[in-house]
A and B are shown apart, each in its own frame.
Chain A
Amino acid sequence: ETGVTQTPRHLVMGMTNKKSLKCEQHLGHNAMYWYKQSAKKPLELMFVYNFKEQTENNSVPSRFSPECPNSSHLFLHLHTLQPEDSALYLCASSYGGPDTQYFGPGTRLTVL
């Protein structure tokens, strides 16, 4: 498989559930990103990892917890989410800095 993959593609969860989103890149990149895409709003950068180290946390609530075990995998652990957290969550990877970012297809999250 090539490019950036994300699983699951769709997720419905209650406010008390715990779930995780997974992202995997097969491009040899060293930087990985989580974005939140809500309707009628610009993409919001959530987290950035470079060589497995978190280099950016864009004031994201603690109910979102990222994990980057290696340069190819990125997780977003979710717990006690709110309905306003419903959105498309996109993962991307790149060689860092201004290099082109390559995006996965996203996980459509619905919080009930």
Chain B
Amino acid sequence: AQSVTQLGSHVSVSEGALVLLRCNYSSSVPPYLFWYVQYPNQGLQLLLKYTSAATLVKGINGFEAEFKKSETSFHLTKPSAHMSDAAEYFCAVSGPGANSKLTFGKGITLSVRP
């Protein structure tokens, strides 16, 4: 069984400040980990994914995440927030098998203050 925990439902940062969105996972098999972003009135878009290669994964729009097995974490960061980063962010976990399914966290809403 797999699960993802995203603590808190809302994060607010100032424009230019560091963005840190936390994700902890539980998995009985080597996990594949994903971060998706959802802008208002749109579907989910992949930001980045970890597939057992490099532990530091770079994604689109300046986001990156680091896989830490010892901490079972896959936190999302961005050095400097832009107003356009305001959205909902979802962490998800999957197993490596052909019949694996994505299990999502409940999401975190990111607000960016001018």
Contacts and interface: CB of A to CB of B under 8 A. Distances in A.
Interface of A: 4, 6, 40-43, 45, 48, 55-56, 90, 92, 96-98, 100-106
B42 interface: yes
Q: For A4, A101, A102, which residue has the most chain B Cβ atoms within 10 angstroms? A: A101
Given A43-B90, A97-B99, A98-B94, A90 B104 contact: no
Interface residues of B, number: 28
10 contacts: A4-B43, A40-B9, A55-B99, A92-B43, A97-B97, A97-B100, A98-B96, A102-B46, A103-B43, A106-B43
Contacts of A96: 98
Contacts, number: 54
Nearest to B94: A98
B101 A45 contact: yes
A106 to B, nearest CB: 5
Nearest to A41: B106
Interface in B24-61: 32, 34, 36, 41-46, 49, 51
Which 7 A-B residue pairs are closest in the complex by CB-CB distance?
A103-B43, A98-B32, A43-B104, A97-B98, A103-B44, A98-B94, A42-B106
